[in-house]
Structures are given as C-alpha cells and as structure tokens.
Structure 1
C-alpha cells in the first residue's frame, strides 16, 4: 500500500469483536517456512544412503514445546503453530506461525525455531535444512506513543457518549491496522459486534451491528468537530500555582477538606469556569511561595507530602486543576493516591481529564515514581474509565465503614499505572 496516497494522522478498522471491544493490542506475527532436501534412494540400495525428509521435519517439530501451541495458550501468551507440511521422497516443506504480544518473547520464539533447525542439522548431516522467518505484522501497542494515541482516546470518548461499556481486548490475532500502525499510521480496531469469529457458528446480532454503525458516526462527528485530543484538548499544565479549589460550587470531599486543612465550600466563580481564591483566604501574592515550598518539601505541615499544585489550560483558558503528590503516606496509599484532579463542568467529556492525568503520570515518572496510584469513588464510572484509558490496572476496591478521620466515605477503586 502506498501510504503517500493515504496521508492521514490515524485510522480505524472494523473487524470482528463483540459489542464494546476496543483493540489496540494484537500479536506480533511471523511466518516460518522450513525446507528439507533429503536423499532419495530405492529400497534395494537405500541402506546408508536414504535421508527421509519427512522424518527430518518430524524431528524438527519434536524440538518444539507442545504446551506452547494455540491449544494450550490464552490471553497474551504466545506460541509456535505448525500449520502445514508438504512432502515427497526427496523434499519436504513445513509451514508454521509464530505469535506473541511481547516483542522480546516474540524474538525468543524465532531463535527457538532457528535453534531447533540447527540441532536437526546435527542429527541429519545428510540433509539440507533451510529455514526462513518473515515478519508479517506487528503489535499495534508497540506503535502507540503519547503523541499519536488520539485514535484510541477518541474510541473511549465515543463509547462514553453512546453509553457503550468499553472492553479493552488484547486480540489473539491481527488486523489490517497492525500493518498500518507498524508503518506509521496508528490504526486501532473498533467492534462489528460479531461473535465466534472465523468459525462455523459465527453470527452478528442486529442490535450490535447498529451500535457499531453508531460508533462509526460518532467517531466521524468527534473528528469533524475538532474534538480529537491533538486539537481540542492540547493542554499545558501551567507551571504556576492554581487556587486551592475548583470554584464550581461543589463541596470538596471530606478527605479533600482534611488534606487541605479544613477548607470550606468555595464561592462560585463569576464566570463559572475559572479558578479563584474565595474571600478570607490567602491572597495570590502568598501562593507562589507556599506552593513552591510544598513542592520542594520545605516546612511541610504534619500529614502532608511534597506535591505540585497546577492548573490545566486550553488556549489560555483554565479547564481544571491537579495535585501531584511526589510520595505516599498511609492515608494517600489507602484512599487518595498520587494524583487528585478536577475538570470544570463545561470542559468534561472533551478528553481533558485524560490529558491532565496522563501529563501528571509523566511528571511523576520524571521524578522517579515508576508506579503511580490513582483512585476514584467506586460509583464514579467516568473517572474509572479515564484511569483505565491511561493504563490503570485495578488492584482492589477499598471498602471502609469510616475513613481514618471518622468521616464516612465511599468505597474507593485503587488503580496502579506503570
């Protein structure tokens, strides 16, 4: 395919997959062809001369671990799969597939096949054994970066708008998007709604097909409206302090009030979408010094940890704020985690929360924090999806009766990123 005739930033494929499945992880794939040239001889004079290529290939297959074949693996486990043999008295050819989601293990399987061929050459010095391994497609995930993941994020946004529950899936196969992604056009796969793919029992429920159609239209709409993350929500978390609260007229949680030193309900900002310091609190002139000292860990109040407090902007307009805690104490490890963020009501469902969280994780990684704890209320579906979109893996759901300050709190979903 001439990609110069397909000048796009990203693409999607529609292939297989049940309702809600999102695929940006596929196998790395290679095709193996092993050719054996034996020595043919009539039975009357075959002793010491005949080299049966079929038996040579038999010994090659015997070198492979049968437990690492498709019938014994699942999920992201890889395999070597012998798919065919062609033979006659003089020559024999074996075809096999190598598959693995992990690139390192994928290369190890290639070396395993080449090593097996080398041992067979030693067993059958009279045979000529040639092995060719050709890569056929790659894992989409290996092409995914912080700067090109718009196509994946838009799929989650579209599903949220349509009320479809996302089901991120590591596909045990590949798509045309695997090849396109490998060649510079990130191409995740959206569902068709079908079941039992590539089988005699394959079927596609009509309601799932309708949802697949709606998904395509929603993705087109998002891009047409300029709401992809590369245009609509390119944010810079300003390297200057924000006010302590998002002034949207909502109460901070009991845990937030305690962490901030008992701050009360903030007054609603006049415009409804900006940060401010309510009357009676410290003025802006004192904040830079205070926040800078907290970030540096200087003169911290009891129970506090070094933290950045930043605001997020889009085209100079404040859309949210974030607290990035450089370390965890017992309270943060149990309930609030490394990152606490909020997005103004007018800017929700535009990918802002995802970008704020992603940049916050990057900031912590730069500080040497490799595993980042992010939490949300168990019933906050939107926040849970945001965290999962950024790679969060659920560890558990904390079930308290009361929090450490004896104030009732909701169960918390605890995710680790990294």
Structure 2
C-alpha cells in the first residue's frame, strides 16, 4: 500500500508540474524526495519484507526514478547465474539476460553474479539489475586471481606469446585471454561472491538461448545425482594445449586414487570415428582434443572446490601452461571431469537450444518446435551436432547413453 501511495504521489507531482518538458525539470526529483521524507519510519517498516538494497532496485531510464521489484527467489536450489564480463559488453549481456529471463528465470528468480577485473560502471549495474528478476551482485576479481604468478618466467612467456602471435594461433598473443582461462579453470568458484552457492549456470555475453526451459535444471541435476552439464562438445585447437594432456596424465599417474571407477576417460582418449562422415584431427598426444564447450555449463561448485580438483589445478598451474602455452578452461575442466567423475554424473542437455558464435545447436525432436517451446533461426543443416567434427556422437558412445544414432539422417529424425 505504501509503495502504491508513493507511485500515486509521483504521478501527482508530474501532473502538477508546470513544465512541459518534465524530464528536464530540476524540481521533480527534489519534490519527490521531500514528499517521500514524510513517510514515517514505522510505515516504512510495515512494507512486507521489502528491503531496499541495490539488488532490489530497477531503474526507469525515462524518468530517473527507482522503483522496487520483488526479487525473492522462487527456485529451490542454492544456485546462481555466473557471468565474467567487461563493461564494454553491456549490450550483449542485456540481450542474453533478456532471453534467459523470458525463457526461464522469471519463473524462478535465481540471482545473477557478475565478475570483472575492473569495477563495474553504474550504468552496467543499473541496466543489468533492471533486466534481472532475481538479485544481482557485482564483484571485483582479486589481483592474485588475475595476474601473472611469480613462478612464471616473463621472458619465456613473452617469447612464447610472440611465437603464438606469429603463427596465428587464436588468442595466442592475448594476455587477458590467458587470465580469463586461468581464472575460469581455478578461481571463479573461490571468489567471495560465489562461495555461498552450490550450483552455477555459466553465461557469456553475445550468446543466444533458443528454447523455453520448462523445468529447473539445477533441481534436475541435484535429483539425478549429476555434477556437470553441457550442450556442445567440439575439439580444442591443438596448438593451444600441446603439453596439457602429458601434464594431466603425469598428475593422474601419481594420484590414481583420484580416478573414478566408472569414469568417461574413453571419451577423451578414443580417436576412432563414430559416424561414417566424422573427421577428427589426429592429435600428437593420447588426448583426442574433445572437450565440453565451457561457455555454457551448469555445474556443482563443490566439485571444483574439492581436494581432488584443487590439487589437479595447482599441479597444472605450476607447470605454466596457462601462460607458456594457451591452455583453455574447457579442456582443463573436461579432463578433470571425465577422469574424476563417474560417467553418469555428466549430463548432456539435449533439450537446450544455444548459440555461441560461430556454432549453435538446437534440439532434434519435432515436438520442441511444433509446441512453440523452441525457435531456432538457423539453418538446421548447420547444427553443430551434425557436423563431422562434433564430439557429441563420441560422448553418446562413451558417456553412458543407451543408444547411438550413427547416421546423419537418423539424427535429423530424432
């Protein structure tokens, strides 16, 4: 009632204003503030569980007036959306947030956690909070999570970076990309804003979310004893990880008790083709380069905080491959997951439609489209699942799925 009264008061101030260009009037906001001061502390305390924090405010750009939004979480899980993002990526962030909110989160109001290596601008916080249905938090990454460690020889690093740049290796000359990969491999789950959560859904700016999500994937993961979920699986660029597998293998040979009894190691070691038209680059190491594309992942943070994973990450980190080479978080995650978890703990979300340029995938079943649940404005033949380099059929073969579609036509009829 009090909030409604404030809104009525605001409207009355607008109507009584003699200025035609009310947005330009310097008197409106002070008038509102002075009138609002007349509300007693007792009345404010009677507002039903309404705590007016930055996470409970959205902004009306046309008027400059804050209004309250009920951000009480409806979903049952201790979970957050996690997004590592720069201020310059605001518009791309708003687009993917809008899709996820409309297709899923407005029914659950899970919170959003934004992390950046520099402070977020007020505009970024204002507009992303306005889109979010749940609470929002904005964190600065500590310097020790986003810097070159003392054990890295900077001269060797500089030579390696220049060599990668000369050879045209993707992001080979970038320092910030290396920081990002290292952070997502070993630190995001240790950030103070993430410590209170058990589950995360990673989101990246510039991606697309094509389907209504008619159930809570966090609840699905918990109820079905899943630890990690993915949507796309493709090979990594070998030039970025020439010694990653040898380093990981050395670690697991020394820590065989870390290996799960029913692991999915064959998914990353089998170099044979599954479908007649499959084509995979034959890597120099035992690793076939297949990985879960980590720009979309839903996972249990406790796995990454476990002694097993932390020892694994620390071993890799000390070898310097995040800097001397250009190790990505996707293969680092994938090797750990397929070795340390039972196959049944890893889940492919076949019902999710998703795009991270240049690749996309959408569900294969006709019902997802005839029901209106999905809309994919892409050429179906370009679906990454059907491409000869997709690692998804290999996951079906080794990941515990009970059937395997071997041919392209059968895949299209799923």
**Bigger CA radius of gyration:** 1
Structure 1 length-normalised TM: 0.23
Larger helix fraction of residues: 2
Higher relative contact order (CA 8 A, sep 6+): 2
Larger strand fraction of residues: 1
Structure 2 length-normalised TM: 0.24
